[in-house]
Structure 1
């Protein structure tokens, strides 16, 4: 990309920052928890730096990636990592097809190859859930080379100039493993905290504009208490998930608040003591 164009994209991200939250709420997108996270992420994309988003489940990592895709009008290819992820899941696979009466072998391109060729965003979710031996195939994609030799076809693929990689991890979760240094060093890392205070209020009122101010205040108080108990080590991170809170608000438009929170938040927790603590906190605001 021409350096002048890069500078213009950076200026655009700064110029639009003040109004980006409102636009993204309207699109069902991400709202930055501080004045610089959104802008810095955009600048990193413009500078072709692979991004690593770190934060608890429900903090908005996927929504942030979707909002970057929306902002740049750039399609996104997604990979959901697990222990079953292999090279074929990343790069594609060979299959047999019939073409004009002849049987031929065709290669079906995977998300990495498609994103590189088309200049899409490649979103790798829960990258630390993948087996460590699977990911080195991406090293040349993530560093300055931005290229890949497809082991299934022998094709050498050079990334489109707009190609971007965004990855996300939930640190310390069951089933995850620490990223090796060779992989981690290819990213710039951003911590994505839960929304709170005015930012959370902005999201709630943007998504549920017809909700009464009293109900919004109740949910904000409950959210604050849940986050406090997570910080105190009495609740799992999932209890403070913004995603779950918004699910509860959606339910609360049709059923009582207490039941909505029970279904959307408490019942997701594995520990019975934690479920009971959530509902006790709710009771203090629903007298």
Structure 2
């Protein structure tokens, strides 16, 4: 794959996801924070040459965030009129694009049933704000991502989960992770990259043991750390990209201990 795209030692992750899209199946990417789920969705979008419309879920997600909203607009005659601005779901459906729903289990369960018709064989939606019946154009696909067991997430409704085919997306490591760092960051020093990868392995172990937050060992944090390591001492780069994001002093100290062991 070209620079900046999703990379994994398990090629079936990408290949299966691409095949599912050709079958028009809804895809649920399941894996830890920072394992590359969004990068995988972006790479699929680039590969099939279809734009991607993204929904970032939270407890504040509502129908307007998904579907769109009404507003007042001045027309060509200078008169004001009420118009509806399409949201990401309706845009993706009308244009035959990809809809990406990130952290779908962060949304309140009562918010998502509005998508049931979008996610099943009907591929249609009745817009509650306008009464318009929207049918998905050819090419429309749905990809969602879930972080199971993460703070703030809710158990995913089984009826909703059954509308998806699940693909596990685990952390990348070893030579593949080294390649990702070289391609997606400014850092090219092999010795430093190997030290950062070993440090990240320690963080992942601590994360699995519940000592630190999962996002501390994410690929995103690792790329930021690698970039900063080219312009400042590694200890300060770790402080800026990982430690200072944490509120818990015990987590901060655990990472400081790992820094002392690795650098």
TM-score, normalised to structure 2's length?
0.94
1:105 matched to 2:78:
no
- Quick one: which of 125, 128, 135 aligns to 1:158? 135
- C-alpha contact (below 8 Å) 2:187/2:227 kept by paired residues: no
1:283 matched to 2:260:
yes
1:76 matched to 2:76:
no
Paired residue for 2:171?
A: 194
- C-alpha contact (below 8 Å) 1:33/1:193 kept by paired residues: no
Question: Kindly tell me: are residues 77 and 283 of structure 1, through their superposed partners in 2, closer, same or farther at Cα, counting changes over 3 Å?
Answer: same
Question: Kindly tell me: are residues 199 and 260 of structure 1, through their superposed partners in 2, closer, same or farther at Cα, counting changes over 3 Å?
Answer: same
- C-alpha contact (below 8 Å) 2:100/2:142 kept by paired residues: yes
Question: Kindly tell me: are residues 113 and 212 of structure 1, through their superposed partners in 2, closer, same or farther at Cα, counting changes over 3 Å?
Answer: same
The more displaced of 223-232 and 84-93 is 223-232
**1:249-268 deviations in Å (ceiling 9; x for gaps):** 10000000111112112222
- Quick one: which of 232, 240, 252 aligns to 2:229? 252
Paired residue for 1:5?
A: none
**1:233-278 deviations in Å (ceiling 9; x for gaps):** 3332122111101110100000001111121122222321221111
Paired residue for 1:88?
A: 64
1:180 matched to 2:167:
no
Deviation of the 1:87 alpha carbon: 1.3
In the alignment of these two chains, the number of paired residues is 262
Paired residue for 2:97?
A: 120
Question: Kindly tell me: are residues 248 and 275 of structure 1, through their superposed partners in 2, closer, same or farther at Cα, counting changes over 3 Å?
Answer: same
Deviation of the 1:209 alpha carbon: 6.5
Deviation of the 1:188 alpha carbon: 0.9
SS of aligned partner of 1:222: helix
- C-alpha contact (below 8 Å) 1:238/1:269 kept by paired residues: no
- 1:235 and 1:82 map into 2 onto residues whose CA distance is 22
1:57 matched to 2:33:
yes
1:269 matched to 2:246:
yes
**1:126-176 deviations in Å (ceiling 9; x for gaps):** 111111111111001001111111122222211111001111122222322
Paired residue for 1:170?
A: 147
- 2:200 and 2:7 map into 1 onto residues whose CA distance is 17
SS of aligned partner of 1:96: strand
Deviation of the 1:180 alpha carbon: 0.9
- Quick one: which of 38, 42, 45 aligns to 2:18? 42
- 1:274 and 1:210 map into 2 onto residues whose CA distance is 26
The correspondence of residues 140-151 of structure 1 with structure 2, limited to 5 A, is: 140-151=117-128
- 1:122 and 1:240 map into 2 onto residues whose CA distance is 27
Paired residue for 1:213?
A: 190
Question: Kindly tell me: are residues 105 and 210 of structure 1, through their superposed partners in 2, closer, same or farther at Cα, counting changes over 3 Å?
Answer: closer
Unmatched runs of 5 consecutive residues or more in structure 2: none
Find runs of 4+ consecutive structure 1 residues off by over 3 angstroms. none
Superposition RMSD in Å = 1.5
